[in-house]
Amino acid sequence: MLSKDNDWNIDTSAGVPILVYKNCSVIESEQAEYILQLINNEVEIAAELLSLREQLACRDAMLFTAAKQIALGTEDVNSKVDITCHSCRRFITHQQHADADGFCPYCDVWMIRVQK
C-alpha cells in the first residue's frame, strides 16, 4: 500500500540526508533524495491510475445503462411509427393500420401498406 507523500521526509540534521518515514529512519545514504523522488513518482502514477480507473468506471456505467435501456426496449414513440399517411401526413403504426382495415384512422383514406 502506498503512503501519502507528506509521510516521507529527508532529515539533514545529522549532516547527511536521511530518508525518514513518520520520524523513523529508513535509509541513511546520499541516495535518500533519489529514493524519495522515486516514491513521489510512484505516488503520482498511482493517483493517475486511480483517476483513470474512476473515469473508466464512469464510462462503463454509462455504457451499461445504455445497453440496459436497449435490452429493455424503451418505449419510444418514434420506434413504433411505421407508416405515414399520404393524405393527412400523420404517423400511423402497423397496428393502427391493421385495426382500421387498411384505412387511415385519422382521415379515413384507404392506404397501401408500404414495407420498409
Per-block mean pLDDT, blocks of 10 residues, the chain (116 long):
61 72 60 75 85 85 77 58 80 80 84 56
pLDDT at position 101, please?
A: 81
How far, in Å, CA of 99 to CA of 115, rounded? Answer: 17
pLDDT at position 45, please?
A: 87
pLDDT at position 41, please?
A: 86
Which H or E run includes 91? strand 91-92
| Helices (H) then strands (E): counts for the chain | 3, 5
pLDDT at position 95, please?
A: 80
Q: What is the DSSP letter of 92?
A: E
Model confidence, pTM: 0.32
How far, in Å, CA of 27 to CA of 7, rounded? Answer: 15
**What cell numbers appear for 18 in the block?**
536521511
Nearest by Cα to 92 from 100, 102, 101, 83: 83
pLDDT at position 116, please?
A: 46
Q: What is the DSSP letter of 6?
A: G
